Chains A and B, each alone.
Chain A
Amino acid sequence: MEAVTAIPPFERFYLEHRDVVLAFLRRRVDRAAAEDAFQETFLRALRAYPRLEHGEHLRAWVLTIAARLVIDRGRRERPLSHELPELPVEDGLPAYAQLEHLAGALPPTERAAVVLRYGYDLTYDDIATALGSTPEAARQAASSGVRRLRKETT
């Protein structure tokens, strides 16, 4: 049996990740939009908090919420924009949702790396921040996750 990391009281989780989340948002949208998204990110995290099953990779988790907000916002505001790559959509699900579903069986670090890289188009620097590791380790986790996925889906 693997020891499960306890879910910290929300105050501690918020204090630990708030600066990283704001910085992540500021690199993508202007200040006003980033502050709106910041508040919404942590409100969504609060709503989902009771459903967390363990305290692993909480930084990746909250950055995933933030990234999804920015993507959804972009779709809403610029539906015809060419800045966003056309993501393959099946059954009306955006790429990140499909990937989360597909990657569900991977070990947690690989799953987070794959979803953040290919579902949210994050850089390896950002993923390293999210996972608390290095860009090189993030790249390795994503590529071994993809290899494992290929094996399992073929």
Chain B
Amino acid sequence: MTPATSLDHDSHENGSKEPVSPDLDRRFREAAATAGLLDVGFDVVDSPVGPLLVAATGRGLCRISFRPDPEEQLDRLARAFGPRILRSAAAVDTVRRQLDEYFDGRRRAFDLDTDLRATAPFARRVLDELARVPYGETTTYGVLAERVGAPRAARAVGTVMNRNALPIVLPCHRVVGANGSLTGYGGGLHVKEQLLRLEGVLL
């Protein structure tokens, strides 16, 4: 049990490998966001339905994901919005606050700019209609399909819900099957139930 050799090695490395302190790290990330140098700023936000990865561009909110590991999202975000992506609490402050208020039951509608430039036109129309479904109410895939003028496209509407880049804020949890069943949800059915319970739709 003599760590002598590795100690020697460490002492050589010590002067040259002092890690960046959390404080310095935070200062740089904040400066980058404040200077407006980011294509995308993101952070991981705690919520009652689990940690959420939240990302925003200069235009607005561009991604909420139930899969909070940044490594899973970085390449996709870079392809859609540009490579200057950095984790930064400051970049998603407004979203974080409004999500907190929503989960506390103090907010019924989100007041956020969104950036859906990576979403195809048909999906955009569906999501615009989706945004009009009020807090505490539900609708069906078929009704949404009718509202965008494509009454036979209930299944396509389901796909749009499944790929919704901004779940919770664009309330795909309020869309259920024609028979009232919850059908599916990107974050898992238990999350859909939890959100509908929060909004008083389910007991």
Point out the residue from A9, A42, A43 that lies within 8 Å of B78, measured CB to CB. Answer: A9
Complex Cα distance, B70 from A38, in Å, reads 24
Quick check: which of B31-39, B110-118, B137-145 contacts chain A, the rest being far away?
A: B31-39
Residues A50 and B19 in contact in the complex (CB < 8 Å), given A11-B74, A12-B74, A42-B32: no
Contact flags (1/0) for B4-38 with A, using CB distance below 8 Å? 00000000000111111000110110011001011
A50 touches B84 (CB 8 A): yes
B19 touches A49 (CB 8 A): no
Dominant secondary structure of chain A at its interface with chain B? helix
Point out the residue from B19, B32, B77, B87 that lies within 8 Å of A19, measured CB to CB. Answer: B19
The answer, yes or no, to whether A8 is at the interface (CB within 8 Å) is: yes
Question: A89 CB to closest chain B CB, in angstroms?
Answer: 31
Contact flags (1/0) for A1-12 with B, using CB distance below 8 Å? 000000111111
A10 touches B15 (CB 8 A): no
The answer, yes or no, to whether B128 is at the interface (CB within 8 Å) is: no
Quick check: which of A22-30, A70-78, A105-113, A145-153 contacts chain B, the rest being far away?
A: A22-30
The answer, yes or no, to whether B82 is at the interface (CB within 8 Å) is: yes
Set of chain B residues within 8 Å of A120, measured between Cβ atoms: none
Set of chain A residues within 8 Å of B16, measured between Cβ atoms: 23, 27
Q: A23: nearest residue on chain B (CB-CB)?
A: B16
Give the A-binding residues of B (Cβ under 8 A).
15-20, 24-25, 27-28, 31-32, 35, 37-38, 70, 74-75, 77-78, 82-87
30 A–B contacts, CB within 8 A, in A order: A8-B83, A9-B78, A9-B83, A9-B85, A10-B38, A10-B84, A11-B85, A18-B25, A19-B17, A19-B18, A19-B20, A22-B18, A22-B20, A22-B24, A23-B17, A23-B18, A27-B15, A35-B24, A38-B20, A39-B24, A39-B28, A42-B28, A43-B31, A43-B35, A46-B37, A46-B84, A46-B86, A47-B37, A49-B83, A49-B84
